[in-house]
Amino acid sequence: MALDDIERKKIERALEAYLAKRRPPSHIRHKLDFGWRLSNQSVELFEIRPQWDDPSVIRNHPFAKATYVKTQGLWKVYWKRADLKWHGYQPKPEVASVEQFLAIVDADEYGCFFG
C-alpha cells in the first residue's frame, strides 16, 4: 500500500529541507549535486554527476534508501555497497521517521553514504 497524501507531503518537506542544507554551492552543481525520489513506499537519495568520459551525459548514482513498512510503522535503512546492491545499514537498520533516516545519512558515522 502506498503512502497517503499527508504522509507524502511531510516526507517531501523533510527531503527538501535536508537537500537545502546538504547541496553543494550553486557554482559547482553542474559537476556535483544531490537529489531524491519518492517511489511507492521508498525514499532514495542520489548523487547527480556528469559521466566521466562524456560530460554531456548526466548520471544519477543512488547511495541511500529508506523503505516504509506500514504494518510495523518503521523505516528500513539501506546503503549501496560497491557491489551495486542495497544492503541493510547495520548500525541502525530501522528508524521511526524519515527525519531520523536523514539524520543518519547526514552524520554518516561509518562513511557508508558519502565515503
Average pLDDT, the chain: 94
Is pLDDT above 70 for 89? yes
Residue with the three cell numbers 566521466 = 52
Is pLDDT above 80 for 86? yes
By three-state DSSP, how is residue 106 classified? helix
* Cα→Cα distances 46→1, 5, 23, 72, Å: 24, 23, 11, 26
Determine the pLDDT at residue 47: 97
pLDDT digits (tens, 9 = 90+) for 26-67: 999 999 999 999 999 999 999 999 999 999 999 999 999 999
pLDDT digits (tens, 9 = 90+) for 13-35: 999 999 999 999 999 999 999 99
